[in-house]
């Protein structure tokens, strides 16, 4: 057998190109003749596509004028005396057009308009260029208090409806309740045997709900400071929870890829929402449909019908894990966060609005206040402040690590605004709780908006 000679890829590609060239070189100059009929048809299609609306309006105006017995005047004068816009084209006549243009397509305005009915009046307005709204000015935020007390990573925070205290849960298995005004510890609740991952305070009952990596979901009676109910059913760690704002329903979700809907009083598991293929990291509830929205490590966001217990819609725009979802307090919108982008959506169908790009880290949490300030917290200790409406990033923070902690312990695990929206509470990996507020001394002159709309891209999918 003869040994096959081996050639480099470079040589083979150029041989292939040469063969192709030799094959087609004979036909290179033999172009087909132009078919005038097809050319005319092509230009007619282009004209109809570009100026179809004008053609239709002119035809309707002619037909309307013909009914009134004015057809001869429209045909003779291109609609000039009847207040109608006419179109003249080079294909209709040789030489120059009556108005002096070289047969180019032109709009002829009305000379002396006569009284017309509203239906016969034709007006073509120039289309306005789309404008990007200028962002509203927001005062910059500053750190005003650091609270230490937990012995492990602080994983969750919840503010009570009266705005007097807030609760935090941590890896030390303890739930602590703090006075919001002074930052002093009021109470410690023990009962979980593993990290506490989520908290929720009921606005209608004296109840605090907690869940954790021990698979337990507990209901605490704050009048007696003890557990009065357990909700059993999760097969693995429970990472997130949300209370329905109008009915006595609790929704929890976690590492078993499901979200479970519980009757608060009877402890019954009403629905088990299945569909996600990985950990469900965030769940929110609202009174209007969709009543439940979940974000998962499978990179999807699902909108659920609470009555049917089924998924209404699945949003697959994210490319990486969705760890945080937040509802706007007044607009019928929500935002979802992933390392690739923060995306805003409109309810109820989940229509995509815009991307908020730039927070290139694992985004663990988000919060938004009634003033339209959206805050996102990352695993590397970065905090980004955004204007909700325009997606303008007006401030960036790098959270300072508590003395004695490692630089890697700069992650922000959860955040929330108080009920007034004037204070931001964050819980972090350095075992501290930080409270931020707006800088009262800042003005638009001292902190101007650095707005460059030419570099803002709103990508729509």
Residue-wise pLDDT tens digits, 158-177: 999 999 999 999 999 999 99
Continuous segment of H or E residues that includes residue 9: helix 9-24
Q: Where are the beta strands (DSSP E) in 191-309?
A: 196-201, 207-212, 217-221, 226-230, 238-243, 249-254, 259-263, 269-273, 280-285, 292-296, 301-305
Note whether residue 33 is domain-resident: no
Q: Is 125 helix (H, G, I), strand (E, B) or coil?
A: coil
Domain count, the chain: 2
Q: What are phi and psi of 294, to 5 degrees?
A: -125, 150
Rounded Cα distance, 382 and 356, in Å: 15
Note whether residue 395 is domain-resident: yes
Average pLDDT, stretch 276-293?
95
| pLDDT confidence of residue 62 | 87
Note whether residue 309 is domain-resident: yes
Name, of 2-6, 50-54, 142-146, the range with top average pLDDT: 142-146
Q: Are residues 212 and 309 in the same domain?
A: yes
Domain span at residue 233 reads: 191-316
* 92-120 per-position pLDDT tens digit: 444 444 444 444 444 444 444 444 444 44
Q: Are residues 196 and 211 in the same domain?
A: yes
Note whether residue 276 is domain-resident: yes
| pLDDT confidence of residue 419 | 94
Rounded Cα distance, 141 and 231, in Å: 39
316's tokens:
């697959």
Contact criterion met (CB below 8 Å) for 313 and 290 = yes
Q: Are residues 302 and 334 in the same domain?
A: no
Q: Among residues 261, 293, 316, which one ends one of the domains?
A: 316
Note whether residue 405 is domain-resident: yes
| % of the chain residues with pLDDT over 90 | 61
Note whether residue 36 is domain-resident: no
Q: Are residues 364 and 434 in the same domain?
A: yes
Q: Are residues 345 and 371 in the same domain?
A: yes
Q: Is the pTM of this model over 0.75?
A: no
Q: Are residues 202 and 310 in the same domain?
A: yes
Order of strands, sheet of 207-212, starting from the edge strand that comes earlier in the sequence: 196-201, 207-212, 217-221, 226-230
Q: Are residues 312 and 325 in the same domain?
A: no
Q: Are residues 363 and 294 in the same domain?
A: no
Q: How, if at all, do strands 141-148 and 324-327 pair? A: unpaired
* 376-400 per-position pLDDT tens digit: 999 999 999 999 999 999 999 887 7
Q: Is 170 helix (H, G, I), strand (E, B) or coil?
A: strand
The residues with which 159 forms a beta bridge, in sequence order, are: 166
Note whether residue 3 is domain-resident: no
* 17-45 per-position pLDDT tens digit: 888 878 777 666 666 677 888 888 888 88
Contact criterion met (CB below 8 Å) for 189 and 211 = no
Q: Are residues 195 and 302 in the same domain?
A: yes
| pLDDT confidence of residue 453 | 64
Q: Are residues 309 and 195 in the same domain?
A: yes
The mean-pLDDT minimum among 87-91, 225-229, 235-239 falls in 87-91
The mean-pLDDT minimum among 214-223, 283-292, 388-397, 401-410 falls in 401-410
- Whichever domain contains 288, its CATH number is 2.130.10.10
Q: Are residues 280 and 337 in the same domain?
A: no
Can you count the helices (H) and strands (E) in the chain?
Answer: 3, 30
Note whether residue 373 is domain-resident: yes
Per-residue pLDDT band for 64 (boundaries 50, 70, 90) equals confident
Q: Among residues 316, 339, 372, which one ends one of the domains?
A: 316
Q: Are residues 403 and 388 in the same domain?
A: yes
């Amino acid at each position: 057998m003869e040994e096959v000679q081996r050639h480099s890829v470079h040589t083979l590609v150029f041989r292939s190109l040469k063969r192709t060239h030799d094959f087609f070189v004979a036909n290179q100059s033999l172009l087909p003749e132009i078919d005038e009929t097809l050319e005319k048809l092509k230009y007619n299609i282009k004209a109809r596509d570009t100026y179809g609306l004008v053609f239709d309006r002119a035809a309707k105006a002619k037909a309307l004028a013909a009914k009134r017995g004015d057809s001869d005047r429209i045909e003779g004068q291109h609609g000039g005396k009847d207040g109608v816009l006419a179109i003249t084209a080079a294909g209709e006549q040789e030489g120059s057009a009556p108005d002096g243009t070289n047969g180019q397509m032109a709009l002829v305005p009305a000379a002396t308009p006569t009284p017309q009915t509203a239906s016969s009046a034709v007006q073509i307005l120039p289309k306005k260029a789309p404008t990007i709204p200028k962002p509203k000015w927001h005062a910059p935020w500053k750190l005003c208090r650091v609270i230490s007390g937990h012995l492990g990573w602080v994983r969750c925070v919840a503010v009570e409806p009266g705005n007097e205290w807030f609760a935090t849960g941590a890896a030390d298995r303890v739930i602590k309740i703090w006075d919001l005004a002074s930052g002093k510890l009021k109470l410690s609740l023990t009962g979980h045997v593993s990290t506490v991952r989520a908290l929720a305070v009921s606005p209608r009952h004296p109840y605090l709900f907690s869940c954790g990596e021990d698979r337990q979901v507990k209901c605490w009676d704050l009048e007696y400071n003890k557990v009065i109910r357990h909700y059993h059913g999760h097969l693995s760690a429970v990472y997130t929870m949300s209370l329905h704002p109008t009915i006595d329903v609790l929704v929890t979700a976690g590492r078993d890829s499901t979200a479970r809907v519980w009757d608060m009083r009877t402890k019954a598991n009403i629905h088990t929402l299945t569909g996600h293929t990985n950990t469900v990291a965030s769940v929110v509830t609202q009174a209007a449909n969709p009543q439940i929205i979940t974000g998962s490590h499978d990179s999807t966001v699902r909108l659920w019908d609470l009555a049917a217990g089924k998924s209404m819609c699945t949003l697959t725009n994210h490319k990486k894990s969705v760890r945080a979802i937040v509802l706007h307090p007044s607009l019928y919108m929500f935002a979802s966060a992933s390392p690739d982008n923060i995306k805003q959506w409109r309810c109820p169908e989940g229509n995509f609005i815009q991307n908020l790009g730039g927070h290139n880290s694992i985004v663990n949490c988000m919060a938004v206040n009634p003033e339209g300030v959206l805050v996102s917290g990352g695993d590397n200790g970065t905090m980004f402040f955004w204007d909700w409406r325009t997606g303008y990033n007006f401030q960036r923070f790098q959270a300072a690590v508590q003395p004695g902690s490692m630089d890697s312990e700069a992650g922000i695990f959860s955040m929330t605004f108080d009920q007034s929206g004037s204070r931001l509470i964050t819980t972090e990996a350095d075992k501290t709780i930080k409270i931020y507020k707006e800088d009262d001394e800042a003005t638009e002159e001292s902190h101007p908006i650095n707005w460059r709309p030419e570099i803002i891209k709103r990508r729509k999918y």
